[in-house]
Copies of this chain bind each other. A is one copy, B any other.
Protein backbone atom coordinates (compact mmCIF):
# COMPACT_ATOMS: atom_id res chain seq x y z
CA UNK A 1 0.00 0.00 0.00
CA UNK A 2 1.75 3.16 -1.20
CA UNK A 3 1.57 6.35 0.78
CA UNK A 4 -0.10 9.53 -0.41
CA UNK A 5 1.72 10.81 -3.43
CA UNK A 6 4.19 13.64 -3.47
CA UNK A 7 3.03 16.75 -5.32
CA UNK A 8 4.05 17.33 -8.91
CA UNK A 9 5.82 20.52 -7.86
CA UNK A 10 8.15 18.83 -5.42
CA UNK A 11 8.88 16.03 -7.89
CA UNK A 12 9.61 18.64 -10.50
CA UNK A 13 12.26 20.30 -8.40
CA UNK A 14 13.79 16.96 -7.43
CA UNK A 15 14.03 15.93 -11.08
CA UNK A 16 15.33 19.34 -12.02
CA UNK A 17 18.13 19.17 -9.48
CA UNK A 18 18.95 15.59 -10.40
CA UNK A 19 19.17 16.48 -14.09
CA UNK A 20 21.52 19.36 -13.31
CA UNK A 21 23.68 17.12 -11.17
CA UNK A 22 23.46 14.24 -13.68
CA UNK A 23 22.25 12.10 -10.79
CA UNK A 24 20.53 9.25 -12.58
CA UNK A 25 19.87 7.28 -9.43
CA UNK A 26 17.45 9.87 -8.12
CA UNK A 27 15.83 10.28 -11.53
CA UNK A 28 15.17 6.58 -11.81
CA UNK A 29 13.90 6.53 -8.24
CA UNK A 30 11.36 9.26 -8.98
CA UNK A 31 10.29 7.67 -12.27
CA UNK A 32 9.83 4.20 -10.80
CA UNK A 33 7.18 5.59 -8.50
CA UNK A 34 5.08 7.20 -11.21
CA UNK A 35 2.17 6.27 -13.42
CA UNK A 36 2.62 7.01 -17.16
CA UNK A 37 0.17 9.94 -16.90
CA UNK A 38 2.29 11.48 -14.15
CA UNK A 39 5.49 11.04 -16.15
CA UNK A 40 3.67 12.79 -18.99
CA UNK A 41 2.84 15.79 -16.76
CA UNK A 42 6.44 15.90 -15.60
CA UNK A 43 7.84 15.82 -19.15
CA UNK A 44 5.47 18.60 -20.17
CA UNK A 45 6.81 20.74 -17.32
CA UNK A 46 10.40 20.61 -18.54
CA UNK A 47 12.20 22.78 -21.09
CA UNK A 48 13.13 20.89 -24.27
CA UNK A 49 16.69 20.06 -23.31
CA UNK A 50 15.89 18.67 -19.91
CA UNK A 51 12.83 16.97 -21.32
CA UNK A 52 14.93 15.03 -23.81
CA UNK A 53 17.31 13.95 -21.09
CA UNK A 54 14.50 12.76 -18.82
CA UNK A 55 12.78 11.02 -21.73
CA UNK A 56 15.90 8.89 -22.29
CA UNK A 57 15.57 7.62 -18.72
CA UNK A 58 11.88 6.69 -18.87
CA UNK A 59 11.59 2.88 -18.75
CA UNK A 60 10.87 1.63 -22.26
CA UNK A 61 7.90 -0.47 -21.23
CA UNK A 62 5.88 2.66 -20.41
CA UNK A 63 7.08 4.76 -23.37
CA UNK A 64 3.92 4.09 -25.34
CA UNK A 65 1.58 4.96 -22.46
CA UNK A 66 3.48 8.17 -21.76
CA UNK A 67 3.26 9.22 -25.41
CA UNK A 68 -0.49 8.75 -25.18
CA UNK A 69 -0.84 11.08 -22.23
CA UNK A 70 1.19 14.10 -23.35
CA UNK A 71 -0.25 16.99 -25.36
CA UNK A 72 0.02 16.67 -29.14
CA UNK A 73 2.82 19.20 -29.48
CA UNK A 74 4.85 17.68 -26.69
CA UNK A 75 4.38 14.27 -28.29
CA UNK A 76 6.04 15.52 -31.44
CA UNK A 77 9.08 16.70 -29.47
CA UNK A 78 9.38 13.27 -27.83
CA UNK A 79 8.91 11.29 -31.04
CA UNK A 80 11.56 13.40 -32.74
CA UNK A 81 14.02 12.17 -30.12
CA UNK A 82 13.32 8.49 -30.85
CA UNK A 83 14.74 6.09 -33.41
CA UNK A 84 12.09 4.54 -35.71
CA UNK A 85 12.62 1.09 -34.18
CA UNK A 86 12.18 2.54 -30.67
CA UNK A 87 8.83 4.03 -31.67
CA UNK A 88 7.64 0.76 -33.13
CA UNK A 89 8.72 -1.03 -29.94
CA UNK A 90 7.06 1.55 -27.69
CA UNK A 91 3.73 1.22 -29.40
CA UNK A 92 3.79 -2.57 -29.66
CA UNK A 93 2.02 -3.08 -26.33
CA UNK A 94 -0.79 -0.58 -26.94
CA UNK A 95 -4.31 -1.59 -27.84
CA UNK A 96 -5.90 -0.51 -31.11
CA UNK A 97 -7.72 2.50 -29.65
CA UNK A 98 -4.53 3.96 -28.21
CA UNK A 99 -2.54 3.10 -31.29
CA UNK A 100 -5.02 4.95 -33.48
CA UNK A 101 -4.63 8.05 -31.32
CA UNK A 102 -0.86 8.04 -31.83
CA UNK A 103 -0.81 6.87 -35.40
CA UNK A 104 -1.53 10.12 -37.15
CA UNK A 105 1.22 11.92 -35.27
CA UNK A 106 3.92 9.50 -36.42
CA UNK A 107 6.41 10.29 -39.16
CA UNK A 108 5.28 8.63 -42.39
CA UNK A 109 8.22 6.22 -42.51
CA UNK A 110 7.63 5.08 -38.92
CA UNK A 111 3.92 4.59 -39.54
CA UNK A 112 4.71 2.33 -42.48
CA UNK A 113 7.26 0.36 -40.47
CA UNK A 114 4.69 -0.08 -37.77
CA UNK A 115 2.00 -1.33 -40.13
CA UNK A 116 4.49 -3.80 -41.56
CA UNK A 117 5.39 -5.10 -38.08
CA UNK A 118 1.74 -5.91 -37.32
CA UNK A 119 -0.11 -9.09 -38.10
CA UNK A 120 -3.08 -9.13 -40.46
CA UNK A 121 -5.69 -8.93 -37.67
CA UNK A 122 -4.03 -5.99 -35.90
CA UNK A 123 -3.68 -4.10 -39.16
CA UNK A 124 -7.33 -4.58 -40.09
CA UNK A 125 -8.44 -3.48 -36.64
CA UNK A 126 -6.29 -0.37 -36.73
CA UNK A 127 -7.60 0.56 -40.16
CA UNK A 128 -11.18 0.05 -38.99
CA UNK A 129 -10.62 2.29 -35.99
CA UNK A 130 -8.94 4.98 -38.08
CA UNK A 131 -11.96 4.93 -40.40
CA UNK A 132 -14.13 6.38 -37.61
CA UNK A 133 -14.15 10.14 -37.31
CA UNK A 134 -11.88 11.75 -34.72
CA UNK A 135 -13.70 12.46 -31.44
CA UNK A 136 -16.37 9.88 -32.26
CA UNK A 137 -17.40 7.00 -30.00
CA UNK A 138 -15.84 4.65 -32.57
CA UNK A 139 -12.43 6.13 -31.91
CA UNK A 140 -12.83 6.13 -28.12
CA UNK A 141 -14.24 2.65 -27.68
CA UNK A 142 -12.25 -0.36 -26.43
CA UNK A 143 -12.90 -3.75 -27.93
CA UNK A 144 -11.99 -5.78 -24.84
CA UNK A 145 -15.65 -6.30 -23.89
CA UNK A 146 -16.67 -9.49 -22.17
CA UNK A 147 -20.08 -10.55 -23.45
CA UNK A 148 -22.46 -13.27 -22.34
CA UNK A 149 -25.83 -14.63 -23.48
CA UNK A 150 -29.11 -13.84 -21.74
CA UNK A 151 -30.41 -17.39 -21.48
CA UNK A 152 -27.57 -18.87 -19.42
CA UNK A 153 -27.41 -18.92 -15.61
CA UNK A 154 -25.11 -16.79 -13.48
CA UNK A 155 -23.37 -20.02 -12.53
CA UNK A 156 -22.50 -20.64 -16.18
CA UNK A 157 -21.25 -17.10 -16.57
CA UNK A 158 -18.95 -17.58 -13.60
CA UNK A 159 -17.59 -20.80 -15.00
CA UNK A 160 -16.99 -19.07 -18.33
CA UNK A 161 -15.10 -16.24 -16.63
CA UNK A 162 -12.94 -18.63 -14.61
CA UNK A 163 -12.14 -20.53 -17.76
CA UNK A 164 -11.24 -17.22 -19.45
CA UNK A 165 -9.28 -16.30 -16.30
CA UNK A 166 -8.05 -12.96 -17.71
CA UNK A 167 -10.67 -10.23 -17.29
CA UNK A 168 -9.47 -6.59 -17.51
CA UNK A 169 -9.42 -4.89 -14.09
CA UNK A 170 -11.60 -2.08 -15.37
CA UNK A 171 -14.41 -4.46 -16.29
CA UNK A 172 -17.32 -3.34 -14.13
CA UNK A 173 -20.06 -5.00 -16.11
CA UNK A 174 -20.56 -7.70 -18.71
CA UNK A 175 -22.39 -7.07 -21.97
CA UNK A 176 -25.40 -9.23 -22.72
CA UNK A 177 -25.95 -10.02 -26.41
CA UNK A 178 -28.28 -12.28 -28.38
CA UNK A 179 -27.07 -15.07 -30.68
CA UNK A 180 -26.42 -12.54 -33.47
CA UNK A 181 -24.33 -10.28 -31.27
CA UNK A 182 -27.09 -7.67 -30.91
CA UNK A 183 -26.79 -5.77 -27.64
CA UNK A 184 -29.53 -6.58 -25.10
CA UNK A 185 -28.41 -5.20 -21.74
CA UNK A 186 -25.67 -5.23 -19.14
CA UNK A 187 -24.88 -7.45 -16.19
CA UNK A 188 -23.03 -5.48 -13.49
CA UNK A 189 -20.40 -7.64 -11.78
CA UNK A 190 -21.88 -6.48 -8.47
CA UNK A 191 -25.07 -8.35 -9.37
CA UNK A 192 -23.27 -11.37 -10.74
CA UNK A 193 -21.50 -11.87 -7.40
CA UNK A 194 -24.44 -11.12 -5.14
CA UNK A 195 -27.41 -12.80 -6.82
CA UNK A 196 -28.52 -16.43 -6.72
CA UNK A 197 -26.30 -18.41 -9.18
CA UNK A 198 -29.32 -20.39 -10.38
CA UNK A 199 -30.91 -17.27 -11.87
CA UNK A 200 -30.65 -16.62 -15.59
CA UNK A 201 -28.73 -13.59 -16.85
CA UNK A 202 -32.02 -12.34 -18.31
CA UNK A 203 -33.54 -12.16 -14.81
CA UNK A 204 -30.72 -10.08 -13.36
CA UNK A 205 -29.47 -7.93 -16.22
CA UNK A 206 -30.18 -4.24 -16.60
CA UNK A 207 -31.92 -3.44 -19.89
CA UNK A 208 -32.51 0.24 -19.17
CA UNK A 209 -29.15 1.21 -20.64
CA UNK A 210 -28.22 3.83 -23.21
CA UNK A 211 -26.46 2.19 -26.10
CA UNK A 212 -24.06 4.52 -27.85
CA UNK A 213 -24.15 4.86 -31.64
CA UNK A 214 -20.62 4.55 -32.97
CA UNK A 215 -20.82 8.04 -34.51
CA UNK A 216 -21.71 9.90 -31.28
CA UNK A 217 -19.42 12.86 -30.56
CA UNK A 218 -17.19 12.61 -27.51
CA UNK A 219 -18.65 15.79 -26.01
CA UNK A 220 -22.14 14.30 -26.07
CA UNK A 221 -20.73 11.11 -24.59
CA UNK A 222 -19.20 13.05 -21.72
CA UNK A 223 -22.54 14.68 -20.90
CA UNK A 224 -24.22 11.28 -20.96
CA UNK A 225 -21.65 9.75 -18.61
CA UNK A 226 -21.93 12.73 -16.28
CA UNK A 227 -25.71 12.94 -16.09
CA UNK A 228 -26.26 9.18 -15.94
CA UNK A 229 -23.34 8.40 -13.61
CA UNK A 230 -22.08 5.72 -16.00
CA UNK A 231 -18.90 3.70 -15.61
CA UNK A 232 -19.08 1.82 -18.92
CA UNK A 233 -21.36 2.14 -21.95
CA UNK A 234 -21.93 -0.25 -24.86
CA UNK A 235 -21.19 0.99 -28.40
CA UNK A 236 -23.41 -0.39 -31.15
CA UNK A 237 -23.72 -0.05 -34.92
CA UNK A 238 -26.88 0.89 -36.80
CA UNK A 239 -28.21 -2.66 -36.52
CA UNK A 240 -27.70 -2.68 -32.75
CA UNK A 241 -24.69 -5.02 -33.02
CA UNK A 242 -22.32 -4.65 -30.06
CA UNK A 243 -18.98 -3.22 -31.25
CA UNK A 244 -17.19 -2.32 -28.02
CA UNK A 245 -17.38 -0.32 -24.84
CA UNK A 246 -16.56 3.19 -23.65
CA UNK A 247 -14.94 3.33 -20.20
CA UNK A 248 -15.14 6.21 -17.72
CA UNK A 249 -11.28 6.56 -17.62
CA UNK A 250 -11.32 7.76 -21.21
CA UNK A 251 -14.30 10.04 -20.60
CA UNK A 252 -12.50 11.76 -17.73
CA UNK A 253 -9.78 12.73 -20.22
CA UNK A 254 -12.42 14.04 -22.63
CA UNK A 255 -13.97 16.21 -19.92
CA UNK A 256 -10.60 17.66 -18.90
CA UNK A 257 -9.53 18.40 -22.48
CA UNK A 258 -12.87 19.95 -23.25
CA UNK A 259 -12.79 22.47 -20.41
CA UNK A 260 -9.12 23.12 -21.07
CA UNK A 261 -10.01 24.03 -24.62
CA UNK A 262 -12.68 26.51 -23.56
CA UNK A 263 -10.23 28.33 -21.29
CA UNK A 264 -7.39 28.43 -23.81
CA UNK A 265 -9.58 29.38 -26.77
CA UNK A 266 -10.87 32.45 -24.94
CA UNK A 267 -7.30 33.79 -25.13
CA UNK A 268 -6.78 32.61 -28.72
CA UNK A 269 -4.50 29.77 -27.65
CA UNK A 270 -4.40 26.15 -28.77
CA UNK A 271 -4.95 23.70 -25.89
CA UNK A 272 -2.38 21.32 -27.35
CA UNK A 273 0.31 24.01 -27.11
CA UNK A 274 3.55 22.94 -25.47
CA UNK A 275 4.37 25.12 -22.46
CA UNK A 276 7.97 25.00 -23.62
CA UNK A 277 7.50 25.18 -27.37
CA UNK A 278 10.40 26.87 -29.18
CA UNK A 279 10.09 30.65 -29.14
CA UNK A 280 9.79 30.97 -32.91
CA UNK A 281 6.90 28.55 -33.36
CA UNK A 282 5.00 29.94 -30.35
CA UNK A 283 5.51 33.47 -31.59
CA UNK A 284 4.19 32.53 -35.02
CA UNK A 285 0.98 31.07 -33.67
CA UNK A 286 0.28 33.91 -31.29
CA UNK A 287 1.06 36.52 -33.93
CA UNK A 288 -2.14 35.59 -35.75
CA UNK A 289 -4.27 36.39 -32.70
CA UNK A 290 -2.46 39.70 -32.14
CA UNK A 291 -2.96 40.55 -35.83
CA UNK A 292 -6.70 39.93 -35.62
CA UNK A 293 -6.89 42.10 -32.53
CA UNK A 294 -4.85 44.79 -34.22
CA UNK A 295 -7.60 45.16 -36.81
CA UNK A 296 -10.03 45.80 -33.94
CA UNK A 297 -7.64 48.33 -32.43
CA UNK A 298 -7.24 50.17 -35.73
CA UNK A 299 -10.99 50.24 -36.16
CA UNK A 300 -11.29 51.89 -32.74
CA UNK A 301 -8.52 54.34 -33.65
CA UNK A 302 -10.31 55.17 -36.88
CA UNK A 303 -13.49 55.94 -34.92
CA UNK A 304 -11.50 58.22 -32.61
CA UNK A 305 -9.94 59.86 -35.67
CA UNK A 306 -13.40 60.94 -36.84
CA UNK A 307 -13.52 63.22 -33.80
CA UNK A 308 -10.16 64.98 -34.07
CA UNK A 309 -11.93 68.32 -33.85
CA UNK A 310 -13.44 67.60 -30.47
CA UNK A 311 -10.20 66.09 -29.15
CA UNK A 312 -8.18 69.12 -30.24
CA UNK A 313 -10.50 71.50 -28.44
CA UNK A 314 -11.15 69.54 -25.24
CA UNK A 315 -8.22 67.46 -24.01
CA UNK A 316 -10.31 66.01 -21.18
CA UNK A 317 -12.04 63.86 -23.77
CA UNK A 318 -8.79 62.06 -24.62
CA UNK A 319 -8.10 61.53 -20.94
CA UNK A 320 -11.53 60.05 -20.14
CA UNK A 321 -12.37 58.11 -23.28
CA UNK A 322 -10.55 54.86 -22.33
CA UNK A 323 -12.78 54.59 -19.25
CA UNK A 324 -15.90 54.30 -21.39
CA UNK A 325 -14.39 51.63 -23.65
CA UNK A 326 -12.86 49.64 -20.82
CA UNK A 327 -15.99 49.49 -18.63
CA UNK A 328 -17.99 48.32 -21.63
CA UNK A 329 -15.41 45.64 -22.32
CA UNK A 330 -15.52 44.31 -18.76
CA UNK A 331 -19.31 44.28 -18.53
CA UNK A 332 -19.55 42.60 -21.92
CA UNK A 333 -17.04 39.88 -21.12
CA UNK A 334 -19.02 38.93 -18.00
CA UNK A 335 -22.15 38.40 -20.06
CA UNK A 336 -20.19 36.66 -22.83
CA UNK A 337 -18.55 34.20 -20.43
CA UNK A 338 -21.92 33.34 -18.89
CA UNK A 339 -23.39 32.81 -22.35
CA UNK A 340 -20.48 30.68 -23.57
CA UNK A 341 -20.68 28.46 -20.50
CA UNK A 342 -24.46 28.15 -20.82
CA UNK A 343 -24.20 27.26 -24.48
CA UNK A 344 -21.51 24.65 -23.82
CA UNK A 345 -23.86 22.99 -21.33
CA UNK A 346 -26.73 23.20 -23.83
CA UNK A 347 -28.62 25.46 -21.44
CA UNK A 348 -29.09 28.40 -23.80
CA UNK A 349 -31.16 28.10 -26.94
CA UNK A 350 -33.61 30.19 -28.91
CA UNK A 351 -36.27 29.24 -26.36
CA UNK A 352 -34.79 31.13 -23.44
CA UNK A 353 -32.44 33.59 -25.14
CA UNK A 354 -35.06 36.35 -25.18
CA UNK A 355 -35.54 36.00 -21.48
CA UNK A 356 -31.80 36.08 -20.93
CA UNK A 357 -31.45 39.13 -23.12
CA UNK A 358 -34.03 40.98 -21.04
CA UNK A 359 -32.25 39.97 -17.86
CA UNK A 360 -28.81 41.11 -19.07
CA UNK A 361 -30.41 44.33 -20.33
CA UNK A 362 -31.79 44.96 -16.85
CA UNK A 363 -28.45 44.29 -15.19
CA UNK A 364 -26.70 46.57 -17.68
CA UNK A 365 -29.15 49.41 -17.03
CA UNK A 366 -28.67 49.16 -13.26
CA UNK A 367 -24.88 48.84 -13.32
CA UNK A 368 -24.58 51.34 -16.15
CA UNK A 369 -26.44 54.01 -14.19
CA UNK A 370 -24.64 53.18 -10.93
CA UNK A 371 -21.12 53.52 -12.32
CA UNK A 372 -22.09 56.34 -14.67
CA UNK A 373 -22.99 58.43 -11.60
CA UNK A 374 -19.66 57.64 -9.94
CA UNK A 375 -17.69 58.46 -13.09
CA UNK A 376 -19.71 61.65 -13.68
CA UNK A 377 -18.92 62.96 -10.21
CA UNK A 378 -15.20 62.16 -10.53
CA UNK A 379 -15.04 63.71 -14.02
CA UNK A 380 -16.79 66.84 -12.77
CA UNK A 381 -14.42 67.20 -9.80
CA UNK A 382 -11.40 66.54 -12.03
CA UNK A 383 -12.20 68.88 -14.91
CA UNK A 384 -14.66 71.23 -13.21
CA UNK A 385 -17.11 70.90 -16.08
CA UNK A 386 -20.52 69.40 -15.34
CA UNK A 387 -21.27 68.93 -19.05
CA UNK A 388 -18.33 66.56 -19.40
CA UNK A 389 -19.63 64.62 -16.40
CA UNK A 390 -23.08 64.38 -17.97
CA UNK A 391 -21.70 63.26 -21.33
CA UNK A 392 -19.42 60.55 -19.97
CA UNK A 393 -22.31 59.28 -17.83
CA UNK A 394 -24.58 58.99 -20.86
CA UNK A 395 -21.87 57.31 -22.94
CA UNK A 396 -21.14 54.84 -20.16
CA UNK A 397 -24.78 53.78 -19.88
CA UNK A 398 -25.02 53.38 -23.65
CA UNK A 399 -21.84 51.31 -23.84
CA UNK A 400 -22.59 49.02 -20.89
CA UNK A 401 -26.07 48.32 -22.26
CA UNK A 402 -24.64 47.65 -25.73
CA UNK A 403 -22.09 45.32 -24.10
CA UNK A 404 -24.79 43.36 -22.27
CA UNK A 405 -26.83 42.87 -25.43
CA UNK A 406 -23.76 42.03 -27.52
CA UNK A 407 -22.60 39.55 -24.87
CA UNK A 408 -25.72 37.44 -25.53
CA UNK A 409 -26.26 38.05 -29.24
CA UNK A 410 -22.67 37.59 -30.45
CA UNK A 411 -22.24 34.01 -29.23
CA UNK A 412 -25.73 33.07 -30.48
CA UNK A 413 -24.94 34.52 -33.91
CA UNK A 414 -21.50 32.96 -34.10
CA UNK A 415 -22.92 29.58 -33.17
CA UNK A 416 -25.57 29.83 -35.86
CA UNK A 417 -22.79 30.65 -38.35
CA UNK A 418 -20.94 27.53 -37.20
CA UNK A 419 -18.11 29.48 -35.52
CA UNK A 420 -16.94 28.54 -32.02
CA UNK A 421 -18.03 31.44 -29.77
CA UNK A 422 -15.32 30.63 -27.22
CA UNK A 423 -12.64 31.26 -29.83
CA UNK A 424 -13.83 34.42 -31.55
CA UNK A 425 -16.47 35.82 -29.23
CA UNK A 426 -14.12 38.06 -27.28
CA UNK A 427 -12.60 39.78 -30.33
CA UNK A 428 -15.98 40.57 -31.81
CA UNK A 429 -17.21 41.79 -28.43
CA UNK A 430 -14.21 44.09 -27.94
CA UNK A 431 -14.80 45.55 -31.37
CA UNK A 432 -18.37 46.38 -30.41
CA UNK A 433 -17.55 47.88 -27.01
CA UNK A 434 -14.60 49.91 -28.38
CA UNK A 435 -16.50 51.30 -31.35
CA UNK A 436 -19.72 52.01 -29.44
CA UNK A 437 -17.81 53.44 -26.47
CA UNK A 438 -15.64 55.87 -28.40
CA UNK A 439 -18.44 56.82 -30.75
CA UNK A 440 -20.96 57.50 -28.00
CA UNK A 441 -18.58 59.52 -25.85
CA UNK A 442 -16.88 61.55 -28.57
CA UNK A 443 -20.08 61.85 -30.62
CA UNK A 444 -22.11 63.24 -27.72
CA UNK A 445 -19.24 65.60 -26.89
CA UNK A 446 -19.14 66.87 -30.48
CA UNK A 447 -22.88 67.52 -30.43
CA UNK A 448 -23.14 69.18 -27.04
CA UNK A 449 -19.75 70.72 -26.30
CA UNK A 450 -18.51 72.18 -29.60
| Residues of chain A whose beta carbon lies under 8 Å from any beta carbon of chain B | 1-2, 4-5, 7-9, 12-13, 16, 35, 37-38, 41, 44-47, 158, 161-162, 164-172, 183-185, 188-197, 206-213, 216, 220, 223-229, 231, 248-249, 251-253, 255-256, 259-260, 262-264, 266-269, 273, 275-276, 279-280, 282-283, 286-287, 289-291, 293-294, 296-298, 300-301, 304-305, 308, 311-312, 315, 317-323, 325-327, 330-331, 333-334, 336-338, 340-342, 345-352, 355-356, 359, 362-363, 366-367, 370-371, 374-375, 378, 382, 430, 434, 438
Contact = CB atoms under 8 A, between A and B. Distances in A.
A331 B207 CA distance: 54
A187 to B, nearest CB: 11
Contacts of A256: 226, 255, 259
21 contacts: A4-B216, A5-B210, A12-B351, A13-B349, A37-B226, A158-B193, A162-B193, A168-B190, A169-B206, A248-B248, A262-B263, A266-B266, A275-B347, A279-B359, A279-B362, A279-B363, A283-B367, A296-B326, A300-B322, A305-B319, A322-B438
Contact of A362 (B283, B305, B323): B283
Contacts of A280: 366
A337 B195 contact: no
A283 B359 CA distance: 10
Contacts of A183: 1
Nearest to A331: B290
A327 B267 contact: no
A22 B13 CA distance: 64
A282 B41 contact: no
B193 A192 contact: yes
A87 to B, nearest CB: 23
B338 A275 contact: yes
Complex copy number for this chain:
2
A183 to B, nearest CB: 7
A311 B304 contact: no
Contacts of A305: 319, 382
Nearest to A173: B169
Contact of A209 (B2, B251, B341): B2
A8 B167 contact: no
Contacts of A248: 231, 248, 252
Contacts of A184: 1
A326 B293 contact: yes
Contacts of A320: 301
Nearest to A182: B1
Given A47-B355, A193-B161, A298-B323, A41 B275 contact: no
A194 B167 contact: yes
B193 A169 contact: no
Nearest to A355: B47
Given A45-B349, A46-B352, 9 more contacts: A12-B351, A161-B194, A263-B340, A283-B363, A289-B330, A293-B327, A297-B322, A297-B323, A298-B323
A211 B359 CA distance: 48
Interface centre among A226, A338, A382 (most CB of B within 10 A): A226
A41 B223 CA distance: 11
Contact of A286 (B37, B356, B363): B363
A421 to B, nearest CB: 13
Given A287-B367, A351-B12, A190 B189 contact: yes
B338 A227 contact: no
Given A169-B188, A190-B189, A207 B1 contact: yes
A235 to B, nearest CB: 11
A252 B226 contact: yes
A52 B343 CA distance: 22
Nearest to A383: B305
A415 B357 CA distance: 36
Contacts of A37: 226-229
A280 to B, nearest CB: 7
Nearest to A312: B315
B338 A297 contact: no
